[in-house]
Structure 1
Amino acid sequence: MGLAILFGLFFLGLLAGAPVAFAVGLAAVATFLYEGLPLFVAFQRILSGISVFSLLAIPFFIFAGELMLHGGISTRLVRLASAAVGKVRGGLGIVNVTSSMLFGGISGSAVADTSALGSILVPVMKEKGYDADYAVNVTVTSSVAGVVIPPSHNMILYAVAAGGGISVTQLFIAGIVPGILMCLTLAVAAYLVAVKRGYQGETFPGWNVLVISLAAALPGLLTAVIIVGGVLSGVLTVTESGAFGAIYAIVVTALVYRELRWASFKAAVLQSVKTTALVMILVGCASAFSYLLALYNVPQLLTEVLMALSDNPIVIFLLLNLLLLGLGMIMDMAALILICTPIFLPVAMQFGMDPIQFGIIMMMNLGLGLCTPPVGACLFVGCVIGKIKIEQAVRTIWPFYLALFVALMLVTYVPAVSLSLPALFR
């Protein structure tokens, strides 16, 4: 009965339109009261959930991403990608994917990727004769790489939700190859659709332009090098690298690019504070929620249900993917990471999956949810920028979904895709 109250009130809160964090928190508190557990235990769980040192990195990553969003890096990355790969058939589609890979490695946010690059590339693509749905679909799906390619604050949430026993550094390293793989499969899809629709490539501007574009984009690209390189080298912790990255982002956008104005800086600070506050409230409430999940043995119950269906790891992993994909279509990504990790991770590990590999799989699945209705934030942003209806985009987005699904299956069933690189840094 307690489990029914926990999930019943949670989904009731969502249906009533309550913020996810409040729905999680109220459901947890109500269940504590039903079970006769002292309320101070619930609040202890909430406080202990946010009293994790690695969470300090999240506001720095968010702030660095916001600064890059307002500071001109996206324009320079687009110029670099256009000079490098624009001559390919359907070149602007490939440029879009390449730009997303580069920007995702800096911002770590799919929504920021869609907003920053979409506002630049979608109008240009439409002007060059590309259909609006193609421009939006490429932009939206390629932005998913931002949640996998490091640095990604969602990976920190996963490490915390997993109990703190997973190295954030290892997760960052593990996301590099899958993120690149996602972009490669999307580039193939963009090329094939471009050929089918008869889109042409851009004229190669020459090596001089390519070198100049690289030089202009290099200061911004170094943000990712500082953050990821500092962690990989062992010189900096994740939190320290995030702080250095944020400071460097201020220097680059304000002093090097000279595009960060006071109004933009205030907007970046305000948005970072709002996002960080939301994430921290969610982390705390999810900690109390997870305590109850463990109390009711939910992971064990799920394992028994899945084993009743099949004891084949291939089938179980496919079912886990489908469950995560389905949940990602109807709920916020951060909330799902915090709620689903304590439930699904023990199941995946029982069937032989490495927790780092599962973390990448979770990011990819939930990232797909960002470009899938009904709550796909990236899809909504992309459609607004492209000035098209969501139905119009969804009708032709399937080749890009298929490309991402191929990458997801490779990461799921070929562990080396996500685990070979981390093994080199252990």
Structure 2
Amino acid sequence: MEWQVIIVLFGSFFVFLGLGVPISFAIGIASLLTVMLSLPFDAAIAVISQRMASGLDSFALLAIPFFILAGNIMNQGGIALRLIEFAKVLGGRLPGSLAHVNVLANMMFGAISGSAVASGAAVGGTMAPLQKKEGYDPSYSAAVNITSCPTGLLIPPSNTFIVYSLISGGTSIGALFLAGYIPGMLMGLGLMTVAAIIAKRRGYPVAPKPSTSEVVKTTLDALPSLGLIIVIMGGIIGGIFTATEASAIAVVYTLLLAVVFYREVSIRQLPGIILESVVTTSIVLLLIGASMGMSWAMANADIPYMISDALLAVSENPLIILLIINLILLIVGIFMDMTPALLIFTPIFLPIAMDLGMDCALWHHDDIQPMYRYLYSTSG
């Protein structure tokens, strides 16, 4: 009966995905079929509906629509162009300079908007024609943009961290934000290293050295945009406001920047930007609600414990288990978007990681710098 539940849940889910059913509906229907193994149809419908509604009843989730709106305002407000120009100053002298500009711009725009999609659309849409004009292979340009825009999911603020905080039982969003900087920057540097090697082999051009006046002008032009990171993270770390309140401040800041300071967005454009943000938010929240139903269905059937026992039967070495988890998530990431993958697999893998002490082992390691200990403790 136990493995029958797993087969019904994940089997039906992947069958519906293969048939082209939207992922939110695939999750919801698979959860309903699983609950129906132990409850009557009307009771199963009531349970899944209640879990979907209660899953969205969270103050922390208010940050998602605000950050999405801030990202869309920045996308229309010329902020991406200014960050690209600033990225040219930082990485313009490296082999395949436009590729490095693409990576750096995605890192900065993602750090401000908190959205990989907004970053990839804004930066990629601007960089692709420039790279094509300079003789870059379109497949190379697309690969650089696609692989670098997810850095926005790691470098705060990030909607992904907010979702994880919700489903992990209240992990501090401030602590998650702080933990994302180093992996995000390492990911960006790794991508730049690979891009440089390929660019060197293919002989892609290097941008001319900018003059001192151009560097100063470009930097000053980009500083107001980069200031959003300081405002958000400074306020969270300093205890001035929560991450949810920071998302609302981000909307006000970007609105003033795009409408008043840069004057790239008019009042007439705001209804369209808000409507686009509402549609995106609806998709994300429907995914979250459906995944909350699936999480309850898995917990009710003890699926996380069954998978945990199966993994621990392979090895009790934390490194081996962590490697297996990463391989599974790597394969899942090929077929599934970040948000549903996070919502589905966190309830499965998080208890395993906690049982092995992975959640606290890093912070008790003797080599961790005192600064990171302090930042982690002050972030809540």
Q: Report the TM-score when normalising by structure 1.
A: 0.81
Unaligned runs of 5+ in 1: 358-413
2:102 corresponds in structure 1 to 96
Are 1:24 and 2:30 counterparts? Answer: no
Contact 1:158–1:338 at 8 Å: present in 2 too?
yes
What is aligned with 2:274?
269
Which residue type is aligned with residue 118 of structure 1? G
Note closer, same or farther for the CA distance 1:415–1:157 as it changes in structure 2 (3 Å cut). farther
Aligned counterpart, 2:129: 123
* Alpha-carbon separation, structure 2, partners of 1:330 and 1:159: 23
- Residues 5-14 or 185-194, more deviating: 5-14
User: How far off is 1:228 after superposition?
Assistant: 2.2
Which whole-Å CA distance do the structure 2 matches of 1:356 and 1:422 have between them?
17
Aligned to 1:245: 250
Aligned to 1:174: 179
Unaligned runs of 5+ in 2: none
AA in 2 matched with 1:255: V
Tell me if the contact between 2:9 and 2:33 (Cα under 8 Å) persists in the aligned partners: yes
Deviation at 1:230, TM superposition (A): 1.7
Aligned residues of 2:93 and 2:207 also touching (Cα < 8 A): yes
Counterpart check, 1:33 vs 2:36: yes
> Any idea what SS the aligned residue of 2:335 has?
coil
Contact 1:114 1:139 survives alignment (8 Å): yes
Matched, 1:141 2:141: no
Deviations along 1:371-422, one digit per CA (max 9) or x if unpaired, are xxxxxxxxxxxxxxxxxxxxxxxxxxxxxxxxxxxxxxxxxxx988xx7675
TM-score when normalising by structure 2:
0.91
1:33-112 → structure 2 map (5 Å cutoff): 33-36=36-39, 38-39=43-44, 40-112=46-118
1:146 maps to a residue whose letter is: G
Aligned residue in 1 for 2:239: 234
Correspondence 1:325 to 2:330: yes
Paired amino acid for 1:239: T
Structure 1: which amino acid aligns with 2:78? Answer: G
Post-superposition CA distance 1:235-261 (Å, at most 9, x none): 011111100101111111111111113
8 Å CA contact 1:90–1:195 kept in 2: the answer is yes
1:3 is the counterpart of 2:6: yes
> Of the candidates 4, 7, 14, which is equivalent to residue 17 of structure 2?
14
Q: Secondary structure at the match of 1:151?
A: coil
Identity across the alignment (%): 40
State how far apart, in whole Å, the 2-side matches of 1:46 and 1:126 are.
Answer: 46
1:82 is displaced (CA, Å) by 0.8
When residues 295 and 348 of structure 1 are mapped into structure 2, their CA distance, relative to the original with a 3 A threshold, is: same
Question: Is residue 70–residue 264 contact of structure 1 (8 Å, CA) maintained in 2?
Answer: no
Matched-pair contact (CA < 8 Å) for 1:290–1:342: yes
CA distance in 1, matches of 2:374, 2:302: 34
1:296 pairs with 2:301:
yes
Query: What whole-Å deviation, never above 9, does each CA across 1:68-113 have from its counterpart, x for those lacking one?
Result: 1111001011111112321222222221111111111111111211
Aligned amino acid, residue 83 of structure 1: V
Match of 1:425 in 2: 378
SS of alignment partner, residue 329 of structure 1: helix
What letter corresponds to residue 37 of structure 2 in structure 1? Answer: Y
When the two structures are aligned, how many residues end up with a matched partner?
368
Structure 1 residue 297: deviation in Å?
1.5
Provide the secondary structure at the position in 2 that maps to 1:343: helix
Alignment deviations for residues 253-276 of structure 1 (CA, whole Å, 9 cap, x no partner): 111111113564333212210111
1:309 aligns with 2:314: yes
CA distance, structure 1, for counterparts of residue 284 and residue 227 of structure 2: 27
Inter-partner Cα distance in structure 2 for 1:304 and 1:275: 38
CA distance in 1, matches of 2:374, 2:144: 28
* SS across alignment from 1:61: helix
Give 1 or 2 for the bigger CA radius of gyration. Answer: 2
Contact between 1:345 and 1:355, CA under 8 Å: does it hold in 2?
no
Give the 4+ runs in structure 1 shifted more than 4 A.
Answer: 419-422
